[in-house]
Structure 1
Amino acid sequence: MELVRVVSHNTHKRMVACLQGQIGTDAEKRHKKLPLTSLSQAMQDGGNQLGEESLIGKMMEMCGDAENRLASELMQHEMNIEKEILDPLNQLAELDIPNILKQRRQLAKLVLDYDSARARWLQATKSIISGTNTQSLTAKADSLKEEVDEAMNKMELCKDQLSADMYNFFSKEADYARYYVMLLEAQADYHRKSLTLLESVLPTIQAQQDSWTEKPAFGTALDEHLKRSSREIALPIEACVMMLLETGMKEEGLFRIAAGASKLKKLKAALDCSTSQLEEFYSDPHAVAGALKSYLRELPEPLMTYQLYDEWIQASNVSDPDKRLQALWVTCDQLPKNNKANFRYLIKFLAKLAQESDINKMTPSNIAIVLGPNLLWAKTEGSLAEMAAATSVHVVTIIEPIIQHADWFFPEDVDFNVSGMFSMPAPLPNNVNHLTPPDYDSGTIERKRPGSMVGPEAAPRPSTNVIIALIAQLNHHRVKVYHLHVFLSPVSLTGPREPRPRARSPSPSSNNTSAVLRSLSRAY
């Protein structure tokens, strides 16, 4: 970071020199003494120091070469250069980076203070053992322990702030590098004789800028982020879902309880920087949930799109529940490819989260209330509160049934670790307690999609004793948990329900298990 400050400072200094031209010399000497020639050299040196891995370094090399060619046709507009380029570079070199370096020095001091306080406390605790005045020594040790805790809190707070500022700095590297592109653009406007040259240089530089993948994800259009990062699922969505699957599924009030502002800011900055160092956030699922909500809310266009807003609202107004589901399915099927893939991924996760509602209190209804307004809102003028009030009622009636019937809307299985960047959580033990879903509808009832065939009628359910026997036989045949879903839903003990979807064809390895299931269902 000090190197970036140094080369930015040198570049700013050379730009200021460019505002003063030398008159009265021949063309060759004037070209050699032009400030732009010195600027060109400074840029190329800075680019070489930063290396090929740095976007700023690449931009400085390209701009330095262009400046050397433009030096012979100097016609500069000083005010524009000062406003658009000199001031931001000065801000970066003299304020932004020095502030971060100052925080780094402050953190080093706080670390020393903490080490010193801890050493005094340890010495005091040892004195208690060997001393005679135990009461006095204990009081002194307690006082020193408070100093240690205070020093540690100050150190951690400073560390978090420094980390957030550094993540923000590196995530904005593309913005800082653009100052050099803007320099060429400004010169193209005021160096008319050099316009042809600039037009041949700018596309190359802009292509390098656009090809740089380290750009913020928050506030960036979904399609742009996916294209730039060559991903199927947006990084903030996948990262947050994977962290929540690991540690947040049983957290009460997930998505409802607000996270700490500093921790949330740090996590968002880390995701913007595309860092893989996210281990510290696994212990704070509320911060992870807050980051996911923030990403969805900050999308320029909602995940469920402005284009289909009216269709979603019309579908939610259908009074008949079955027809409402049909209308929602038709609208969902019209989502653009990237939006549909990410919406499907998110809904599958939310349905999985709702299965733990007995513990986390997040039923499909509660999830729809707190998360729905971040998935769909109107493209209208007005305050955020007005938009939320106008949309929230409809959004709940849209999102809740989609979560309840997630497997009907999206029958395909989802691999949450799409990119392979994360480790999957350990599977739950294969016992009955984990097989029984919550009391709300699990989403497997048969609903007739447009153009689909009507599913079979529900078969009579076996008794409780038969279920126990069935579990023993299935465990003997090592059947996977999802094979029990038809028999072990909450209503299996209370009576028939609406028809369920036609089951998948069993694999050759499960023929024996399928025979057991069929014989028991016929018998009962």
Structure 2
Amino acid sequence: MPKVFRRQKSVLVSSSSTSTNGTGTAERPGKRSSSTSSSTVVFGVPLSTVQIRCGQPLPAGIVHLMRQLRKCGVAAHGIFRRAGGRARVAALKSRLDANPDEADFANCQPYDLADVVKLYLRELPECLITQRLSPTLMDIFTYVKSEDARLLAMQASMLLLPDENREVLQALLYFLNDFADCAETSQMGASNLAVCLAPSLFYFPHEAATGVGIGGRD
């Protein structure tokens, strides 16, 4: 279970946090701004907007998708590393944007669902680990050698996150912890999951130049 957060409170079950997002951090290049989002669009919408719209910082459709992925894919070999079908992932995204409350994931392949989770995180206008926090965490891991001191520094650094980002990050860590627990079967322990999810979570200065996309197979 993640150590950074001391109390378990997952938005995958319920959420009652309020929005205090006022960081002024830059949006990711090429991402959709909140001014172009409708009342149903799921992807590319700021978490603060989702909080106001839904009363929780994760859209209901994404919550349901993650629950289904936890049911069907927690032990899938290479989950979050193996790519889903590009066309199927695109279709899932379109269905979520069109009817987020009615999307049915029961017959979806786990690799497709995992790609949609990464795609949702990647298309947030501001990275979940914000432009302000990303270099701080990298410095902590680079320069703080003591494990105890590193943990304390990481816990303190979470205060730099907007409330919505912090709650979604906490939910995501508990979610991924279930997958890490099945590493003997899936070959996806915490380190492998971190490698696969980091490009979707962190702000990297070279991101605009290189671009990051979901690989897939039809």
Please give the range of the TM-score, normalised by the shorter of the 2 chains: 0.7 to 0.9
Give the alignment partner of residue 384 of structure 1, picking from 202, 206, 210.
210
RMSD, aligned α-carbons: 2.5
Instruction: Return the letter of the residue paired with 2:87.
Output: S
The TM-score with structure 1 as length reference comes to 0.32
CA contact (8 A) 2:44 2:123 kept: yes
CA contact (8 A) 2:42 2:100 kept: no
The separation in 1 between residues aligned to 2:199 and 2:182, in whole angstroms, is: 22
Structure 1 stretches of 5 or more lacking a match?
1-173, 176-209, 389-524
* % same residue: 28
Structure 2 partner of 1:351: 177
Deviation sequence 1:42-67 (CA, Å, 0-9, x none): xxxxxxxxxxxxxxxxxxxxxxxxxx
Instruction: Return the letter of the residue paired with 2:117.
Output: L
Instruction: Return the letter of the residue paired with 1:273.
Output: A
1:335/1:275 Cα in 2 relative to 1: closer, same or farther (>3 Å)? closer
CA contact (8 A) 2:47 2:57 kept: no
The separation in 2 between residues aligned to 1:344 and 1:270, in whole angstroms, is: 26
The separation in 2 between residues aligned to 1:236 and 1:310, in whole angstroms, is: 31
Give the alignment partner of residue 241 of structure 1, picking from 52, 62, 66.
66
CA contact (8 A) 2:79 2:111 kept: yes
Query: 1:277 Cα shift?
Result: 3.8
Map 1:255-274 → 2, pairs under 5 A: 255-274=80-99
Structure 1 partner of 2:187: 361
1:302 and 2:127 correspond: yes
How many residues matched? 178
Give the 4+ runs in structure 1 shifted more than 4 A: 379-382
1:378/1:236 Cα in 2 relative to 1: closer, same or farther (>3 Å)? farther
1:251/1:278 Cα in 2 relative to 1: closer, same or farther (>3 Å)? farther
1:357/1:380 Cα in 2 relative to 1: closer, same or farther (>3 Å)? closer
CA contact (8 A) 1:234 1:342 kept: no
Query: 1:382 Cα shift?
Result: 4.4
Map 1:320-359 → 2, pairs under 5 A: 320-359=146-185
Over alpha carbons, which structure has the higher Rg?
1
1:236/1:368 Cα in 2 relative to 1: closer, same or farther (>3 Å)? farther
Map 1:33-432 → 2, pairs under 5 A: 213-214=39-40, 216-317=41-142, 318-379=144-205, 382-384=208-210
The TM-score with structure 2 as length reference comes to 0.73
CA contact (8 A) 2:61 2:103 kept: no
Structure 2 partner of 1:438: none
The separation in 2 between residues aligned to 1:282 and 1:344, in whole angstroms, is: 28
Query: 1:238 Cα shift?
Result: 1.3
Query: 1:257 Cα shift?
Result: 0.8
Query: 1:334 Cα shift?
Result: 2.9
The separation in 1 between residues aligned to 2:206 and 2:114, in whole angstroms, is: 27
Instruction: Return the letter of the residue paired with 2:150.
Output: R
Structure 2 stretches of 5 or more lacking a match?
1-34, 214-218
Deviation sequence 1:213-236 (CA, Å, 0-9, x none): 22x121122212222233343335
